[in-house]
Chain A
C-alpha cells in the first residue's frame, strides 16, 4: 500500500486551463503539505493543513487553491494555468504539524503547461 499517493502522476495541459491534483495518505497523519519543485530541482513549500485547517500559506498566487475535505486528503486546484506553473508538485504528510514530524512524500505529479 502506498503511504502517500498522488494522482495524476503526469499532467500535460494548455495555458489558461484549470486542473486539479489529488493527494491521499493512509498513514493516519494529521498534517498534509504541498511542495513545488521547479526545473532546477528547488523545493519550496506552498501550503500545509493540520486537521483540515490551513496552517501554512506561503506567497503563492491565488490561482492555487488547496482543499482538504478530511485529514487523509489534500487536493490542489490551479486556475488559469501559466507556463511558469510547470513543475513537479509533491504532496507530503506528517504525524503532527510540529518540528518533530518527519515528512513522508508522495511520488510527485509532473505538471507541464504548454
Chain B
C-alpha cells in the first residue's frame, strides 16, 4: 500500500535557523512521483516541487532544497535561513501508480518560524 509518513508534527525555530522537514514514503511501484506542497495560514495549497522516481539528483531553489534518497525512501525538505513567511503546514505527497494521478498526502508538518 502507498503511504507517506511525516513524523514531525510541529517544528518551531527562530528566524535564520535552518530546518529540515522529513518525509518517508512506501510504495511498490517503480515509477512514482513525490511532491511537496505548502499551506500557509491563508489556507491555499501551494506547489513547491515534483520529483520522479528516476531522478535522485538533489534540487535547490533559493533557500529551499530537497534531498531524495531511494535507498531510504526519503524525500526531505530543507529551508535555509528560515523566515517568518515560511511559517506554514508543509505536506509531502506521493503519486500512486496505475496510470491515474492520485496524490497520497502525509499528515503534514506545521512549521512555526519566530522572529
Contact = CB atoms under 8 A, between A and B. Distances in A.
Interface in B24-60: 31-33, 35, 37, 39, 43-45, 47, 50, 52
Interface residues of A, number: 30
Interface in B68-108: 89, 91, 95, 97, 99-103, 105, 107-108
Count chain A CB atoms within 10 A of each CB in B39, B47, B91 and give the residue with the most.
B39
Nearest to A9: B43
B55 to A, nearest CB: 12
Given A42-B105, A103-B47, A104-B47, A56 B100 contact: yes
A50 B43 contact: no
A42 B108 CA distance: 7
A44 B43 contact: no
A48 interface: yes
B43 A103 contact: no
B105 to A, nearest CB: 4
A55 interface: yes
B103 A99 contact: no
Indicate the member of B31, B43, B100 with the most A CB atoms within 10 Å.
Answer: B100
Interface of B: 31-33, 35, 37, 39, 43-45, 47, 50, 52, 89, 91, 95, 97, 99-103, 105, 107-108, 110
Interface of A: 31, 35, 40-45, 48, 50, 55-56, 88, 90, 92, 94, 96-108, 110
Considering the complex of A and B, which 4 residue pairs feature the smallest CB-CB distances, nearest first? A105-B45, A43-B105, A101-B101, A97-B100
